[in-house]
Amino acid sequence: MKLSESLARLRYGLFPDHLVGEVLSKRWTDNAIPLVFLLATVIGVGTAIPDFFSLASLADASRQLGEFAIVVMGLTIVMLGGGIDLSVGATFALSAFASVAVIYIMGGPIWLALLAALATGAVVGAANGVLIGYLRLRAFLTTLVTFTILHAIYSILVVNFSAQVQLADVQTPIWDFIGDGGVAGFPISLIVAVLVAILAHVFISRSRLGWHVLAVGGSRRSAFNAGISVRRTVFMTYMISGLCSGLAGFLIGARLSGVGPGTGAGLEILALTAGVVGGNSLGGGRGSIAKGLMGAVIVLILTNGLIRLGFTSGTNQMVLGVVLALAVFLDVRWLKNRSKVLAKVYVAPVYSALPSTPSAEPDSGSPFALNDRLAETEFIGLGEIEGPEDVILDEDDNLYCGTRNGEVVRFLAPDYKQWEVFAHTGGFPLGLAFDRAGALTVCVGAMGLYSVARDRTVTRLSAETNRTPFSILDDARLRDPNDCDIAPDGRIFFTDSTTRYDAHDWALDSVESRPTGRLLVYDPRNGRTRTVLRGMSYLNGVCMAHDGQSLFLAESWACRVHRYWFDGPKAGRLDCVIAAMPGYPDNINRASDGGYWMAWLGMRTPSYDLALRKPGMRKRMTRRLPQDDWLFPNINTGGVVKFDENGAITEVLGNLGGHSHPMVTSMREHKGALYVGGILNNRIGRYRLEGADPSWTGMRSYWGEGR
Amino acid sequence: MTGWFLLLGRRRQEDTVFLLTILLFLTFSFVLHGFLTTGNIIALLRSVALLGILAVGMGIVVIGRGIDLSLVAILAISVAVFLNLLGQSYPIGIALLLALVGVIAVGALNGVLTAYAEMPAIFATLATGTFVYGLGRSQFLTQDVIYLPPGHDLFTAFGNARLASIPVEVVVFAFILVGAFLWLRFSKYGRYIYLIGDNLNAARNAGLPVRPVIVLQYVVSALLAFVAGLIMAAGIHSMNTRIVNSSLLYDVILVVVIGGIGLSGGKGGVRNLIVGTLLIGILLNGMTILDISDLYQNLIKATVLLAALIVDGVLNPRDEQTDQQGDI
């Protein structure tokens, strides 16, 4: 190996480039900007005002924070649902007036004051909700107008009643305690805010209604088409915001023991800035209660800091304007460019040197030499199906395959002219296997392991395995379940080809060539799924050996075949039976003569083999070229090979012109014929095998003569 | 029935509003003592002129599918700074030039934030409005109200000028209306604004200079705000920056929406602005004659605006399938 290659291998093997893309693909990275902003604010204000974070100062600020945070959380929920509520300040003031009026003018009890404040908030929220949710008015303008209406009402009320409030001589210790007191040093308003925060967080992140809010905010149209009541959901968000403002109004009423003309003035701008600065996306769908809280803390520290620094009036607005503009700007840019950056940096190639191999050239005399025998296949379902990745036959000779439309299709014996949709699984059904009871086990790409019973009921067997500690990507999820086979005891062994790419991006995994494929086992006795082997390069086909104790495993991008013993005396042993091949292996299935059929989904090329040894070149390619211009492995010429127990090649079937079966991903022998499927093909091929046992079927081979 | 209703709603909103305006005018003429007098009509026109000039600025931006919430802040701060410069005995030409540069800069900032940074217009202009007020109030001005220093007779004379007994602001308003009409209807960039407001992506694909035109529309609206501010200051010889907190901005939006310029852009014109301005002007004037206090006037105006929004929403409902994501 040349020195430069060794260096490249070290560089791309040791340095975890892939983590950049994985971290960026995480939603929690949205928190990075607001968090940095928060730290900058804390450090900046903390150094400018030495005693800003002293205890006395904090106690006062936290009381303010409580009320403010409650308002911001209400607004955050509205923003998550794709709306905006500018009436929060006026609602806040009006609710404060309502509670103050109950205490000082009516002489009513505390609970009535609280109820009055909440009711005020609820009425305003309901009005906003009806206008924006049901009448579908524009949120910004509508709440701006409700704000002016409420503000006008509030001003009228304050002018008429404030003297009465000031002159009232009412002593209510509980009221004063809510305003000034606290529990263990924490002011009541802060405690209430924490409770509201927990409630709101659980609501948004753990409840069905909360998810509806996020769905509506994320994509109104999709939410509507998915059957979510968009109007009711939007209505609800404004209702919640109104209630939050009402609660906060009650708290400020208690704190100030009265209301003035300035109560709640400018609160909407502050709250809006807090919501956006915290990282909640305008237009909805992205954000959280935590972000709202972060924004509330930032804005409060900033404004209080500016006041403490003794700036003249107006400075606050100036800074707030800049912060608001900056936050919206970052939000818009982040949203627009994150996916672009992610698409650019996600592919992180590693060094991969494929061992040299005998040639596959026709008439080269090597055991791999291709021929044109597959050109003689007859077609089944030509042009009627799309993407039969795997094919299988039952004991009545009916032929099954998956399609990219998410269906399992059945061609009826004996002539396979007629077909029907056997079951709809969704996703992309790939590998197939029959269990002892005759139920069809299906690996559904992008979804998991499913079972279709004889009566066509679809059951999910497994969609997750144990998660690796400290993995950034959630590798408990099955991303690309590819092929499965069933042990005599009923355990289902199946492969999950990559943890880095979704099923439809399977070819990208080759450009990266990072071995992340896994062998998993699903145990029907306890319903658990466990990872058996990991770190394989696109682990694809899996086939139960004739001994019932071991499996043949195909690593597509490494062009290798392994044998793994899961049972018997050699249990746990992993042998490489074919170390190098000129083709990329796919599914493996039993042959009637005691050997195994293996599909080649494509053939290695010298140029791509070289590219695999140049990770830097592939990295530059993925960064600088559009995907259409990337160098991909050749998946336009494939074939079928047969090997024996020891991995020696005994037969090769190819299609040189590529007219019948340019790529092959699967094949099944059944009663003297080989049925050939391909993930990019629009047909299934049937090839008559000379001299094969005309009564041999897979069902009998697996489950005995009775079938 | 629906078709007729749509015709009424979509094509004829300004006609309906015009009819309403005449009805209101006639009602006030008969019911209100002192409404139909030359003095009051002139006062009405004067008060309407200011609102109308601002509405032209807002209208142009709204046609281009934007909104300018910084209008009143620009008006107040630019003129206050201008008066302040006069107070520091700058020559009027220099002061005007400096103020003009500032106004164009703020307008361009609005445009750049919406067109190039692609921020939603409401947030961009809300932020610049807040920023401009804060900057002017904290860095340039020492008090809320800035008075015109003595010795600027030309300026005050301008404020009191009459053209055939028509006050100068009305004349200016008329000029601006004619100018806006000609610009929007016949000039290349005026037509571009409609195209951009109607479908921004289509306009961009057609090769229109979308971003510069958006910047232009915000600069125009900022300039109109400055003009309105100058007229205001010429009349009352001062500028109260607290006007930022008043309901003037809502009145301007009210005029535009009531006049029938759809907030989704691409529709409407000067005719809509005229009927909207007249209706709101007559309403405000009538309420003042009725001696309704400012507080209640605000309440009534806001309620009327809400009603207008509801009618607009019912006549031009938004569809779940075609709604723009993030279009709030």
* B16-66 pLDDT, tens digit each: 778 888 888 898 888 888 888 888 888 888 888 989 999 999 999 999 989
How many residues comprise chain A?
707
Beta bridge partners of residue A142, listed in sequence order: none
- Kindly report which listed range (A245-249, A414-418, B19-23) carries the lowest average pLDDT score: B19-23
For B253, the closest chain A residue by CA position comes to: A141
**A7: in domain:** no
What digits encode the pLDDT tens for the residues B154-191? 777 777 777 777 788 889 999 999 999 999 999 999 99
| Cα-based distances in Å from A573 to A562, A563, A568 | 10, 8, 10
In A388-414, which positions are buried (b, 16+ CB within 10 angstroms) versus exposed (e)? bbbbbbbeeebbbbbbbebbbbbbeee
Return the beta strands (E) in B13-129 as ranges: none
Same domain as A307, residue A408:
no
| The domain boundary residue, chosen from A286, A312, A335 | A335
Three-state secondary structure readout of A186-205: EEHHHHHHHHHHHHHHHHHH
Same domain as A62, residue A172:
yes
Same domain as A453, residue A307:
no
Whole-number Å distance between alpha carbons of B249 and B236: 19
**Residue closest to B273 by CA, chosen among B32, B37, B58, B6:** B58
**Per-residue confidence (pLDDT) for residue B319, from 0 to 100:** 63
Query: Is pLDDT above 90 for A345?
Result: no
**Per-residue confidence (pLDDT) for residue A582, from 0 to 100:** 94
Q: What percent of chain B has pLDDT over 90?
A: 38
Task: Flag if A328 and B318 touch (Cβ within 8 Å).
Answer: no
ipTM here:
0.83
| The domain boundary residue, chosen from A335, A354, A384 | A335
Cα B247 to chain center, whole Å?
A: 12
What digits encode the pLDDT tens for the residues A253-293? 888 887 877 788 788 888 988 988 888 887 788 889 999 99
Same domain as A312, residue A391:
no
Task: Flag if A322 and B321 touch (Cβ within 8 Å).
Answer: no
User: How many domains does chain A fold into?
Assistant: 2
Whole-number Å distance between alpha carbons of A609 and A557: 10
DSSP class of B91: -
Whole-number Å distance between alpha carbons of A635 and A601: 6
Cα A679 to chain center, whole Å?
A: 25
User: How many domains does chain B fold into?
Assistant: 1
- Kindly report which listed range (A306-320, A382-396, A467-481) carries the lowest average pLDDT score: A306-320
- Residue among A221, A311, A321 minimizing CB distance to B323: A221
CA angle at A122 for the pair A119 and A126, rounded to the nearest 5°: 140
**B157: in domain:** yes
**A467: in domain:** no
| Residues of chain A contacting residue B131, judged by C-beta atoms under 8 Å apart | 317-318, 320-322, 325
Whole-number Å distance between alpha carbons of A508 and A590: 29
Mean pLDDT over the full length of chain B: 85
Residue B274's domain comprises: 13-315
**Residue closest to A597 by CA, chosen among A675, A690, A694:** A675
CB neighbour class for A201 (10 Å; exposed up to 12, middle 13-18, buried from 19): middle
Chain A interface, best mutation among B114, B126, B327, by max A CB count within 10 A: B126
C-alpha count within 13 angstroms, C-beta hemisphere, residue A648 = 3
Token digits of residue A242: 């109104």
Three-state secondary structure readout of B174-226: HHHHHHHHHHHHHCHHHHHHHHHHHCHHHHHHCCCCHHHHHHHHHHHHHHHHH
Task: Flag if B134 and A336 touch (Cβ within 8 Å).
Answer: no
**Per-residue confidence (pLDDT) for residue B2, from 0 to 100:** 43
Residue A688's domain comprises: 373-462+476-703
Segment of A182-196, A247-261, A629-643 carrying the highest mean pLDDT: A629-643
Whole-number Å distance between alpha carbons of B53 and B163: 18
Q: Residue B191 corresponds to which amino acid?
A: R
Token digits of residue A532: 């058996």
Task: Flag if B298 and A220 touch (Cβ within 8 Å).
Answer: no
CATH assignment at residue B31: 1.10.3470
**Per-residue confidence (pLDDT) for residue B320, from 0 to 100:** 61
For residues A673-683, give the mean pLDDT. Answer: 93
Same domain as A299, residue A155:
yes
Q: Rg (Cα) of chain B, in Å, rounded?
A: 20
| Cα-based distances in Å from A574 to A210, A544, A587, B174 | 48, 14, 18, 90
Same domain as A652, residue A541:
yes
Query: Is pLDDT above 60 for B323?
Result: no
Confidence of residue B9 (pLDDT cuts 50, 70, 90): very low
Same domain as A544, residue A670:
yes
Query: Is pLDDT above 80 for A416?
Result: yes
**B8: in domain:** no
- Kindly report which listed range (A165-174, A399-408, A536-545, B28-37) carries the lowest average pLDDT score: A165-174
Collapse the DSSP code of A529 into the 3-class scheme (helix H, G, I; strand E, B; otherwise coil) and give the result: strand
Query: What does residue A8 show for φ and ψ, rounded to 5 degrees?
Result: -60, -40
Sorted by sequence, the CB contacts under 8 Å of residue A68 that are 6+ apart come out as A248, A267, A270, A271, A274, A296, A299, A300
**B6: in domain:** no
Task: Flag if A148 and B305 touch (Cβ within 8 Å).
Answer: yes
Cα A470 to chain center, whole Å?
A: 18
B168–A contact, CB cutoff 8 A: no
| Residues of chain B contacting residue A337, judged by C-beta atoms under 8 Å apart | none
B65–A contact, CB cutoff 8 A: no
B124–A contact, CB cutoff 8 A: yes
Same domain as A31, residue A83:
yes
Same domain as A214, residue A167:
yes
Q: What number of H helices and E strands is found in chain B?
A: 14, 4
Same domain as A272, residue A326:
yes
Task: Flag if A313 and B137 touch (Cβ within 8 Å).
Answer: yes
Confidence of residue B6 (pLDDT cuts 50, 70, 90): very low
**Per-residue confidence (pLDDT) for residue B4, from 0 to 100:** 47
**B7: in domain:** no
| Cα-based distances in Å from A313 to A58, A67, A347, A508, B310 | 23, 23, 52, 58, 38
Query: Is pLDDT above 60 for B12?
Result: no
| Cα-based distances in Å from A407 to A226, A400, A452, B149 | 21, 10, 11, 83
What digits encode the pLDDT tens for the residues B114-150? 999 888 888 899 899 999 999 998 888 888 888 888 8
Smallest CA–CA distance, residue B306 to chain A, in Å, is 6
Task: Flag if B305 and A333 touch (Cβ within 8 Å).
Answer: no
CATH assignment at residue A149: 1.10.3470
For B130, the closest chain A residue by CA position comes to: A321
| Residues of chain A contacting residue B299, judged by C-beta atoms under 8 Å apart | 149, 152-153, 156
What digits encode the pLDDT tens for the residues A10-26? 998 888 888 888 888 88
What digits encode the pLDDT tens for the residues B65-82? 899 999 999 999 999 999
**Residue closest to B149 by CA, chosen among B87, B65, B212, B220:** B87
Beta bridge partners of residue A424, listed in sequence order: A407
- Kindly report which listed range (A121-125, A327-331, A447-451) carries the lowest average pLDDT score: A327-331
For residues A25-54, give the mean pLDDT. Answer: 82
Same domain as A177, residue A91:
yes
**B230: in domain:** yes
**A353: in domain:** no
CATH assignment at residue A456: 2.120.10.30
Task: Flag if B117 and A329 touch (Cβ within 8 Å).
Answer: yes
Whole-number Å distance between alpha carbons of A540 and A583: 13
Same domain as A301, residue A386:
no
**B223: in domain:** yes
B117–A contact, CB cutoff 8 A: yes
**Per-residue confidence (pLDDT) for residue A246, from 0 to 100:** 95
| The domain boundary residue, chosen from A313, A335, A357 | A335
Query: Is pLDDT above 90 for B151?
Result: no
